[in-house]
Structure formats: C-alpha cells, structure tokens
Amino acid sequence: MPLSEQEQRLLDEMERQLMHTDADVVHASTGDRTLSYRNLLLGAVLVLVGLGAIIAGIAMWNSTVVAAVIVGVVGFGAMLGGVILAVSPGKGDASSDVADSPTPQKTPSVGGASFMDKMNDRWDKRQQG
C-alpha cells in the first residue's frame, strides 16, 4: 500500500531528525577516543612486565605454589592496568572534551522532546479519526 503525501512528509521528517541525532552521537563519541602516545607506550611496557611476571609465576610453580600464584596475579593485574592505561585518553584531551560536551547535548534533547510531542499529537489525531 503506497504512503499518502502526509505520511511521506512525516517519514521524511523522521529520517531528517534521526540523521541529525545520529550525527550528534557520532560526533560526541569520536572526540573522547583520542589516544595519547605516552599512555600507549607506558601501557605497552606495563603489559610486557605483566607478561614477564606471569611467565615467572609459571616457572616458580614447582618450588613454591603460593608465591607463584601471587606473582601470577600481580602480573595479570599489571597487564590489565597496562591495557587500561594504553586505551585511556591523554590528560589534555579529556578536559577539552568535558568543556565542550554539555552544549551539544542540551540542544537535541529540547528539539527531540518537541518532535516527539508533535508525533504523539499526530498519532492521537489519527486514532481519533
């Protein structure tokens, strides 16, 4: 069944609103993921140190099991900390993103609420006849 002109306009308006909202979401999320080379390097070194500790824990297994487990857990923690450090943004990048983020988030929420109110009103009118 083909759409009427009013339904086609409504669909076009919904698509434009969705594209506008998706563009804001994509724009907001890309700024937060700027990697710092310093953090990446330190994280990689920490991962390698943790891997070495795990290997040392495996090598110590036959002599003292408790010490081997402790060294292995510390090595795993070092590797996990290294990965978290490597993917975290730098100090300078995070402060600029936090300062810029509130302005774009307020605008779509106000526009989105009025759009949804209009959609609800149109739906109610359709249901009533």
Contacts of 82 (CB under 8 A, 6+ apart): 42, 43, 44, 45, 46, 47, 48, 49, 50
- At residue 107, the pLDDT reads 42
Q: Is residue 40 part of a domain?
A: yes
pLDDT of residue 36: 83
Closest CA to 75 of 94, 56, 99: 56
The total number of structural domains that make up the chain: 1
Is residue 66 in a domain?
A: yes
Assigned domain for 8 exists: no
16 token code pair: 């434009």
**Domain range holding 40?**
34-89
Per-residue pLDDT of the chain (129 residues; tens, 9 = 90+): 788 888 888 888 888 888 777 766 655 555 555 778 899 999 999 999 999 999 999 999 888 999 999 999 999 999 999 999 998 887 754 444 444 444 444 444 445 567 878 888 888 888 787
Query: 102 lies in a domain?
Result: no
Q: Give residue 109's pLDDT.
A: 45
Model confidence, pTM: 0.47
Q: Within a domain: residue 82?
A: yes
Residue 62 lies in a domain: yes
